[in-house]
Chains A and B, each alone.
Chain A
Amino acid sequence: MIQARIRKTFPPHDDSAGFSLDVDFRAGAGVTVLFGPSGAGKSMVLDSIAGFVRPDEGRILLDDVILFDGAARLHLSPQARNCGYVFQNYALFPHMTLRENLAFAAERRPRLERHRRVNEMLERFRLTETAGRRPHEVSGGQRQRCSIARALIGGPKLLLLDEPAQGLDAPLRVELYETLRQVRADFQTPVLLVTHDLDECFELGDEMLVLCAGRVVQSGAPPEILDRPATLEVARLLGAFNLIPAEIRTLDPGRNASRLKIGEFEIDGPYFPGRLKGDRVTVCVRPEQLTALPRNGRPGPNQIPAALERAVEKPTHVHLQFAGGIAVDLPRAAFEPQREIREWVIQFPAALLRAL
Chain B
Amino acid sequence: MAIDWFPLWLSLRVAVISTVIALAAGLWVAYILANREFRGKAVVDAAVTLPLVLPPTVLGYYLLVLLGRASPLGKIWEKFFGSPLVFTWKAAVVAALFHSVPLLVKSSRAALESIDRSCERAARTLGASEWKLFWRVTLPLAQRSILAAAALAFARSLGEFGATLMIAGNIPGSTQTMAVAIYDALESGHSMLALLLVLVISAIALAILSFTTRLESH
Contacts and interface: CB of A to CB of B under 8 A. Distances in A.
Interface of A: 50-52, 77-79, 81-85, 87-89, 91-95, 104-105, 107-108, 150-151, 154
Contacts of B141: 93-95
Most buried by A among B121, B125, B128, B140: B125
Contacts of B129: 79
Contacts of A91: 116, 118-119, 121-122
A88 B122 CA distance: 11
Interface string B124-140: 11111100100011001
B119 A79 contact: no
A108 B118 contact: no
Given A91-B118, A95-B140, A104 B125 contact: no
Given A94-B141, A104-B126, A108-B127, A78 B121 contact: yes
A93 B127 contact: no
Given A83-B125, A91-B116, 13 more contacts: A50-B125, A78-B121, A91-B119, A91-B121, A91-B122, A93-B119, A105-B126, A105-B127, A107-B128, A107-B132, A150-B122, A150-B126, A151-B125
B128 A104 contact: yes
B125 A85 contact: yes
29 contacts: A50-B121, A51-B124, A51-B125, A77-B124, A78-B121, A78-B124, A79-B127, A81-B125, A83-B125, A84-B125, A85-B121, A87-B122, A89-B118, A91-B116, A91-B119, A91-B122, A92-B122, A93-B119, A93-B122, A93-B137, A93-B141, A94-B119, A104-B128, A105-B126, A105-B127, A150-B122, A150-B126, A151-B126, A154-B127
B123 interface: yes
A87 B118 contact: yes
Contacts of B127: 79, 82, 105, 107-108, 154
B143 to A, nearest CB: 9
Contacts of B132: 107
Contact of A52 (B121, B126, B136, B137): B121
Nearest to A80: B127
A91 B116 CA distance: 8
A208 B137 CA distance: 35
Given A93-B137, A95-B140, A79 B121 contact: no
Interface string B111-123: 0000010110111
A337 B147 CA distance: 71
Nearest to B117: A91
Contacts of A81: 125
